[in-house]
Each structure stands twice: as C-alpha cells, then as structure tokens.
Amino acid sequence: MAYYARKTAGFIVTLLLVSLVTFAVFQILPGDPATAILGVDADPVQIEQLRHEIGADQPLPQRFLNWAAGVLRGDLGASYQYRQPVAKLISGGLSVTVSLAVFSLALTVLIGIPTGLWLARHGKKLYAAPVTFLSQLGLSVPAFCMSIVLIEIFSVQLRWLPSMGYTPWAQSPLKCLQSLLLPALAISFGSSAVLIRYVRASVSQQEGELYVRTAKSKGAAPGRVMWGHVLRNSLIPVLTIFGMLVTDVLGGSIIIENVFSLPGIGRLISTSIATRDLPLIQGLVLYLAGIVVVCNFVVDILYSVIDPRIRLK
Amino acid sequence: MTDKIPPVLAVEKLTVEFPVGKPAEYRPAVKEVSLQVKPGEMVGLVGESGCGKTVTALSVAGLQPETARISHGKIRFQGTELLSLTEEQRSRLRGQELSMIFQEPMTALNPLMKVGKQIAEAARVHGASRQEAREKALSIMEQVGLPDAERLYGEYPHRLSGGMCQRVMIAMALLNRPALLIADEPTTALDVTIQAQILEVIRSMNREMGTAVLLISHDLGVIRRMCSRVYILYAGQVVESGPTEQVLSQPIHPYTKGLVASLPSLSGRGKKLRPIPGTVPPLEERDGKGCPFYNRCERRRPQCEAGSPPRLEKNGRMALCIDAKEEWGL
Amino acid sequence: MRFSELWKRCWHKKRFVAGACMVALMLLLMLAGFFWMPYDPDAMELTNKLQFFSPAHPLGTDQFGRDILSRMMEGARYSFLIGGLAVAAGFVTGGLIGIFSGYYGGKLDELVMKLIDVQMAFPGVLLALMLIAVFGVGLGNMALALGIMAIPRFARITRSGFLKYREADFVKAARVRGAGDGRIIFRHILPHVAPDLIVTCSLSFAGAVMSEAGLSYLGLGIQPPTPSFGKMLSEAQASILQAGWYVLVPAAAITLLVMGFNLMGDGLQEVIGHDR
C-alpha cells in the first residue's frame, strides 16, 4: 500500500511541476500578451484594459494560481487566433491524435514484440540480417522522413492509400483506418525498432537465468520454457519502457500530423507557433505532457500488479 | 552391495571441452571421468571450485552450456545411452527418471510463478492432468517438510527463505519419484543450521523412495555423513575413488590427503590443519601433459611431469597416482 | 581503460566502422563544400526545374532549378553545426548538473532527478517547440532549444557514473591522501565516466540532427533560402508528384548522418560493456 501512496504522491508532484514549468516558460516571453494580441500599434488604453481583463497586471504567483485553477476547471483560456476556448480546440484535435497514437502503439506492439522474440532466437543467423538492418534503420530514419518515403511508395506510385487528410471514425471506419495507416506505420517504424531492441536484449538476458535451467531440468520442452517462463519475465522489464513508447509515439505524431495534414493536436501546435497564439500553445503543451505523465503513472501501477516483487521495494 | 546389480548411472570416460582463447581452442574441463551410481545408493563427487563437478553433473542431465562440447565418452542411464538420444527424448527423461537440484535455490525458481505451480509443472510436463498435478505437488510438499502446503502453494518464491526454496526444488525434483537425483552443492548457499535440515530431507527421501543420489559438494564432511562411496575430482579428472570411509581414512592421492588434512573434523583433534597451497589451474593453463596435480604436489617426482599418472585399482578403490603402487603393493 | 586502447578496440567493431564511414562521408561532403561547389546553392534556374540525376547536376535540381548537390553540401554544415552546438550545451550543462547531483547527492540530487522526470514528460520535439514559441524562430534559438533537450540525458549518465564511483576504493584512497573535491571529481572519477559520456555525445548528436530536421521541416528551424535537410524534405514533398526521387536525397542524407552516429555510439557502448 505504501508503494501506491508513494507513487501517487510522486505523480501529483510531477504533474504540478510540469504545469509550473509550462506556465513559467511563457512568462519569460519578452513583451506582453495584450500587446501580442492587439498588435504594437494598438491604442495604449485598450492594451491596458485588455491587460486587466486577462489578468496580466496581477503579480506572478497570483497569475499562476488563477491559471492553475482554470486548468483544473477545464478552462485553459481563449485562443488569440481562433477566438475560441483553448479547451474546445484541444478536444477537437484530441480524437485525431489519440486515434493515431493508439493505432501506432498497437502496430508498435504487434511488430515489435514478435520481431524482438524472433530476433532473440535467430538474431545471429545470416537470414536474420535483413531484419536486424531494418530495425537499425528504424532507429535512424526520422518518422517524418519515413512518412514522405511511404507517401511516395503507397500514395504516389501504388495509389493504395491517401497521402493526406483524415476521415472520422463515425463517418467511415474503413476510410478512417486508411487515412491513419500510413502515419501510424511511419511512427511505429521507429518506435517498434526501440521495442525490438529491448525485447531482444531482455529475452537474451532472461534465457541465461537459472530458473530457465530449472524448468529444463523438470523436462519442460523448449516451447514451454519460452512461453511459460521466459516470456513473462522478459516482458516485465519491457513494460517499463512502455511509458517511453507512449512519449515517443506522441512526440512523433506532432510532426507526422503535419506531414499528412491530420487535424490533430500536433498540427494545432505548429500552426499556433507560427501565429504565436500563446494560450493555445500553453494549453496544448500542458495537455500533451499531462498525457505522458498519466501514462507513466499507469505503467508504474500495472508494473506492480504484474510483478509481485516490486511492491516490496 | 554386489557388482551384479546394474548401475542406474554409468559414466564412462566422459570428456567435456570448452573453447578457450582466440582463435578458439577446445580444452577439456572434464577429462575421461568414469563413475557409477547404483540403485538407491548415495554417491559423492568432491572437489574444489573449478574442478569440473558441475559440468559433469550438467552433462549427465543434458543441461551443459551451449558452448560445451562432449567429445568422448558414454553416459548410460538405466541401460540407455543418453548421448545417442534426441533432445526431445532426453527432455522426457528429465524430471521423470533423472532430476537435478542446484546450488542457488533462490534464483533457481521462476520469480513470477507461484511455487505450487512450479512444483506441479514437473507433473504437468510429464502428462498429468491439472488436478492430478496439484494433488501430487501438495503431497510431495508435505513429504519434504514444507509446512502448510496449501498456503505455500500460492506463494511467490521471494516470500520464501533459502531453505524453503531448496525444499521446493527438492519437491519439484522428486515429484515423479525419479531413479536418480543429482544434487549440485544443494546446501552451499544456505545457513549452517539449514544445511543439516536439507541434507536430512535428501537422506530421508533417498530411504523412502529408493532414489539414488549423486551428491556434489566441496565439503568432505557433508560427503562423509551422507555417501557410501566417493569420487574425488581434480582439474577435471577423477584422481581417487572408493568407499567413503576407506578413502578418507587411508587416502592415497596427495590431493585427497591434502583435502583430509585441511578439514578439522577429519584430521583429528590436536592435529594442525594444513591447507593445500595454490589453486586449481584455470582451463587455459591445462596443457594435458603429465599429472594434473603436479604443480601443487608435495610428492612430485620427475616422471610425473611428462607422463600421465597410472590409473590403479584394488578392491573397489581407484587412484590416479604412482603412490598407489607401493601403498597397495601392486 | 586508456583512450588509445578504447579507440583501437572500436575499430574491431563492425558497427563502429560502418558508422564512422557514414559520418566520414557526410563530413567529406560538408568539408568539400568550403573549397568547391558545383554551383551557387542559391542560384535559381527556372527553366531547369526538378531535373533527375545527370552529369551536369549529379543529384538533380529542385523546384527552383537549384543544384541539389550544392544545397546538400551547404545544408550539411548546418546539421553538423546544430548537432555540435546542442551536444556541447548538453554536455557542459548536463555534465555539471550530473556531477553535483551524483557526487554530493542529498536534497539537490532529489530535486535534479525530479526535474529530469519533468523534462522527460515533454514528448519528442515538444519542449523545443515550446521554447521556439517563446524565443521565436531562428537558428540560434533552435540550437538553444535542442541543447536544453539534450541536458537530461547527459545529466543522468554523469549522475549514475558519479554515484557509482564516489564511494569506490580509489576515491577513498585519494581522499585519504588529501585530495580536494575538485581533484577527485575531475582527475579521479571523470575519466571513468568519460567513455559513457562519449557514447552519449554520439547518440545525442544523432538525436539533435533528427530533431533539427523535424523542426526545419515544420518551418520552425532553419529559414529559407538557407538549405537544410529538413526543409528540403518538405519542398520535396510538395513536388512529390512531379519528382518522387527528390525525397530520397535529403532522406538518405539524414539517415546516413543519424545512423552513422547511432552505430558509432552502439559500437563504443559494446566495447565499454565488454570491459566491465
């Protein structure tokens, strides 16, 4: 129980620090938000009025508290550019980003774990060399670079899949999957390479453990040793990098959404930076970082459920 | 025990080699080892660390490391030549007819599987139903002295002490009432008080089930208490063997003499303990010429350096030393 | 292990050699550009747009008829520059943080670890994007942002190294001989941590090159007309229907550079790993 209390406390502190950092970075900003909204040539009286309206004339700690209270209520302020609540804009883009992330993660796991297991067994053989090379390539080709190559192959040459745009799930599940397949492939190409590495190393390490010898000494066949003993023990350390994979996939989607013109959070971020729409950027950054922190927390908890030893530590 | 009863295990001139250095050259870690275990018998295999005890044991069970190469010899188990069997056939024997327990009971158990399930697995892999396996596991757990078997069945290994883990290992190994149990340093990692208990469990299982035991240890005291016969291993070779009492009271080989002299309980009260100088030469330095003990021997002679020592036998005893000639009047 | 020894052993690792060749190729391309370029990288020739590889333009021409090889030669400078700046910033700042955190420990260490956790919560280039949003678009700001992104990695590696060695026997011995903290940190412990730091440099360089390309692709990094691999990719994407091959040129350059540094880092890691 103490384990869970400690983890929860750590989780809350991290969330608090993340929001503090997000808030603080935007305070370094030279110039003043009211001027940014109205432009340098605007009437000073108007600027002063807006400063008061958005609370920019209050002391810093007060402003943080106001902002944090707003965040907790789900109020992230209003976008300068779209003249809409940031929360509403985010929730609009969220479904796209989350679908892409879930799809990419699923592909990552489906590709990464079996390939990692296979490479742990056959990695040293000559016929495994192309697979090893591909996974090395996955670590080295940036996802957006991969996407453009995929567009060239599957959209331009083969004409199998769309190169841009997004169809919502509700409209047509098939088209939705089609529109997400290339971006998800591009992201999972890299993240599955990371997963493959971990799985491979973990299995190789576990196969040298003494309990494997014990299982063999009982007369368990190689298949049973692998599936009944090695697999679970190998996947536990892999679970710890799952939080990292979520981070990877979300980070990848920021740029990938721009490559494929998907109307998600990543696309919102780059357009809002181009227009210096600060409340929107702040909200988006906080939101993405928040998702990562929550996912890491969930992984920690899952870890303790699967591994009975961890709660003792 | 007469010679007419066929042995459970008969190892003949077993040589196991490992690659050493670059470019790899195979060097024997176990060299022409011959030993026998008769049904229901307890036999000891003694030697310092690095002398090839564990490699011998693992090779008999077919669990030797992948880099190992068995270059010569035979391993006959219940009349079957093990080295000619397929891996699948060998795995069917393991845990059923031939079991093994290890030095580190804590790490030898799967940390993520409940101990009961791990014991029951020994029955499951040899064809028992789930229910049968569970009953067998619970009954063997009681037999090896694991208290409150029902509750322990659902515990994870990290909640058990080292001694309990070793009992779990013994339960797992003996569940199918095998003909032979190989115990590789079963008590080395345990507290002294627990050691005696575990040895007692092994002894009583040997009596109740008639399971023969090949007990591997570096501890002559343990061997003397447990085993009727003993093999002394040095640098991969059996240097002396015979009935335990005789070997320990009238050792022939200078190495055995050294072992006896370095043991308080055996050398006798008031005598000075004398450790053997030096250590077992590592695999890289064994050139295969002359007597393996030459460098540490107090009684070395010129001919010991070049020629292999003679293998001399008398009345069920064997010694790999020229000294035996005089002592036994051969 | 001595550095000369480390260096020698690296060349026995296929990975390291392959990586070094890739990096050397890109480095040569860049260095050659300082002395000779086939064309002015900014010279447009609108009648000669998107030409495929030819003797006159070995890597073809882009959407304005500019010579791609020349642009690659100039673009490589910025990749190396940004990578170098980011690694240098991460190395110095992260290294110092790691030294204090690992060597002195205590409350400071806890705080540092927590901050690193916090920074890890910003996925991918998000942190860089946030900083660029605040400081504005530009080469210097991007280098700064990528440098800040590289800090946690260096801090963590240095910290764990110092944590491991601060109670080591040779450190205790030095302390008994009266060596001060500064001497112990830089003369006694740092050489042991250095190989790990070199690996981190190599991997961080690869990461920075990747992020730079991503940001430039988004138009938030190096600004046109200055050539950069990322920007060239986005231009290639725009003309993908007319000239699909164009994509492959900057993609190959980025991949060579990133994979080269990754492989060198891996090879080095293997050498260090074997030593322990």
Instruction: Encode pLDDT of B99-157 as tens digits.
Output: 999 888 888 999 888 999 999 999 998 888 999 999 999 999 988 888 888 899 998 88
Q: Quick one: pLDDT at residue C1?
A: 56
In a 3-state reduction of DSSP, which class is residue A310?
A: helix
Residue to mutate among C156, C204, C237, C245, with most A CBs inside 10 A, is C237
The answer to whether the pTM exceeds 0.90 is no
Going A297 to A299 to A305 to A311, the CA torsion angle's sign is negative
Size of interface A-C (CB pairs under 8 A): 136
Q: Under a CB-based contact definition with an 8 Å cutoff, are residues C129 and C160 in contact?
A: no
Q: Quick one: pLDDT at residue A4?
A: 85
For chain A, what is the mean pLDDT?
A: 84
Is chain A touching chain B, with at least 3 CB–CB pairs below 8 Å? yes
Mean per-residue pLDDT, A8-31: 82
Tell me whether B102 touches chain A (CB under 8 Å). yes
Structural tokens at position C182: 């500064």
pLDDT confidence band for A306 (50 / 70 / 90): confident
Q: Which positions ≥6 away from C12 have C-beta within 8 Å?
A: none
Distance CA A308, CA B158 (A): 9
Distance CA B45, CA B239 (A): 11
pLDDT confidence band for A192 (50 / 70 / 90): very high
Mean per-residue pLDDT, B256-272: 73
First to last CA, chain A: 12
Cα separation values, B191 from B46, B146, B187, Å: 20, 17, 8
Tell me whether C110 touches chain A (CB under 8 Å). no
Distance CA A304, CA A4 (A): 9
Distance CA A298, CA A313 (A): 18
Q: Under a CB-based contact definition with an 8 Å cutoff, are residues A290 and A18 in contact?
A: yes
Q: Under a CB-based contact definition with an 8 Å cutoff, are residues C76 and C22 in contact?
A: no
Distance CA C93, CA C71 (A): 33
Q: Do A157 and C236 touch (CB under 8 A)?
A: no
For chain B, what is the mean pLDDT?
A: 86
Cα separation values, A232 from A212, A307, B115, Å: 12, 10, 16
Cα separation values, A130 from A124, A126, B324, Å: 11, 9, 62
Lowest mean pLDDT among A97-106, B145-154, B278-287, C252-261: B278-287
Mean per-residue pLDDT, B278-294: 77
- C137 to chain A nearest CA, in Å? 9
Scanning B57-76 for CB atoms below 8 A from A yields 61, 63
Is chain B touching chain C, with at least 3 CB–CB pairs below 8 Å? no
- C262 to chain A nearest CA, in Å? 7
- Look at residues C122, C214, C114, C206 and name the one whose alpha carbon lies nearest to residue C156: C114
- Look at residues A312, A306, A292, A278 and name the one whose alpha carbon lies nearest to residue A25: A278
The tens digit of pLDDT for each residue in C97-118 reads 999 888 888 888 888 888 888 8
Distance CA C76, CA C228 (A): 7
Distance CA B289, CA B304 (A): 9
Residues in A touching B95 (Cβ below 8 Å): 217-220
Structural tokens at position C73: 């030669």
Cα separation values, B243 from B223, B230, B240, B262, Å: 11, 6, 10, 20
First to last CA, chain B: 25
Q: Under a CB-based contact definition with an 8 Å cutoff, are residues B171 and B119 in contact?
A: yes
Residues in C touching A183 (Cβ below 8 Å): none
The tens digit of pLDDT for each residue in C232-254 reads 888 888 888 887 788 888 899 99
In a 3-state reduction of DSSP, which class is residue B45?
A: strand
Distance CA B154, CA B256 (A): 46
The tens digit of pLDDT for each residue in A108-159 reads 999 999 999 889 888 788 888 889 888 888 888 888 888 888 888 888 888 8
Percent of chain A with pLDDT over 90: 12
Return the bridge partners of B313, or none: B318
More confident position, C216 or C61: C216
Tell me whether A309 touches chain B (CB under 8 Å). yes
Mean per-residue pLDDT, A2-11: 86
Amino acid letter for position B225: R
Q: Quick one: pLDDT at residue A40?
A: 67
Return the bridge partners of A84, or none: none
Q: Is B87 exposed, middle or buried (0-12, 13-18, 19+ CB in 10 A)?
A: exposed
Distance CA B120, CA B136 (A): 7
Q: Which residue of A has its CA nearest to B178?
A: A218
Q: Quick one: pLDDT at residue B243?
A: 93
The tens digit of pLDDT for each residue in B163-201 reads 889 889 999 998 998 999 999 988 887 888 888 888 998
- C240 to chain A nearest CA, in Å? 7
Scanning A234-273 for CB atoms below 8 A from B yields 236
Distance CA A224, CA A214 (A): 12
Going C74 to C75 to C79 to C81, the CA torsion angle's sign is positive
Return the bridge partners of B131, or none: none
In the block, tokens 């600004």 appear at C223
More confident position, A135 or C124: A135
Q: Do B113 and A229 touch (CB under 8 A)?
A: yes
Q: Do A211 and B99 touch (CB under 8 A)?
A: no
Distance CA C38, CA C29 (A): 12
- Look at residues C195, C226, C222 and name the one whose alpha carbon lies nearest to residue C211: C222
In a 3-state reduction of DSSP, which class is residue B81?
A: strand
Is residue A180 scored above 70 in pLDDT? yes
ipTM of the complex: 0.85
Tell me whether A310 touches chain B (CB under 8 Å). no
Q: Which residue of C has its CA nearest to A164?
A: C237
Q: Under a CB-based contact definition with an 8 Å cutoff, are residues C91 and C146 in contact?
A: no
Q: Under a CB-based contact definition with an 8 Å cutoff, are residues B314 and B250 in contact?
A: no
